[in-house]
Amino acid sequence: MQSSEIYLESLITATPQEGRDLAIKLSRKSIAAIQTNPDVRKKLRADYAEDTAQLIASAQVIALEFQTIARANNYWKP
């Protein structure tokens, strides 16, 4: 399953905040890799945007992706 779209050039970000943003982006791209139809994804948003259990589960994905990104950036230590 070769993704046609190149959405990840590097794990290195300038700041921790950009690392968070990248973690959120990677989480979303995983969903898009499984459900490739953007219209379906848009329709599905209502299913989780107000479902706290799914919002919490999404936060787990972001925390896991951020672990990887933070480590790649040596925790943005000076």
By CB under 8 A, tell whether 61 contacts its own copies: yes
Number of residues that bind its own copies (CB under 8 A): 57
The span from the CA of 12 to the CA of 35, in Å, is: 27
Among 13, 34, 39, 42, binds its own copies (CB under 8 A): 34
Return d(Cα 30, Cα 53) in angstroms, integer: 19
38 binds its own copies (CB under 8 A): no
- Assess contact for 57 and 11: CB atoms under 8 A: no
Residue 22, number of CB atoms within 10 A of its CB:
21
Contacts with its own copies by CB under 8 A lie at 1-3, 6-12, 15-17, 19-21, 24-31, 33-35, 40, 44, 47-68, 70-72, 75-77
